[in-house]
Amino acid sequence: MASVSFAQAVIEGRVALPKSRSAPVVNKRYEIVTKGGVVATNPPLAVVYLEGDFPRPAPAPVVSMAQRDLAFVPLLLPVQAGTKVEFPNLDDTYHDVFSYSAPKRFDLGRYLADEKPVPSQTFDVPGLVTLRCDIHEHMRGLILVLATPHFVVTDPDGHFRLEGLPAGRFTLRAWVDSKTTLAQPVDLQAGSTLKVDFP
Question: What CATH number does residue 135 fall under?
Answer: 2.60.40.420
Instruction: Going residue by residue through the chain, which has 199 residues, state the pLDDT in tens, using 9 for 90 and above.
Output: 444 445 799 999 999 999 876 554 444 455 888 888 889 898 899 999 999 888 887 888 999 999 999 999 999 999 999 999 999 999 999 999 999 999 999 999 999 999 999 999 999 999 999 999 999 988 999 999 999 999 999 999 999 999 999 999 999 999 999 999 999 999 999 999 999 999 8
- The reply to whether 68 and 142 lie within a common domain is yes
Structural domain range at position 182? 1-54+154-186
Among 138, 148, 197, 161, CA closest to 15: 197
Residue 68: how many other CB atoms lie within 10 Å: 11
Residue 194 lies in a domain: no
Residue 142 lies in a domain: yes
Residue 38 lies in a domain: yes
Residue 197 lies in a domain: no
- The reply to whether 13 and 34 lie within a common domain is yes
Give the count of domains, the chain. Answer: 2
User: Could you give the angle at the alpha carbon of 141 between the alpha carbons of 60 and 157, nearest 5°?
Assistant: 95
Its pTM stands at: 0.90
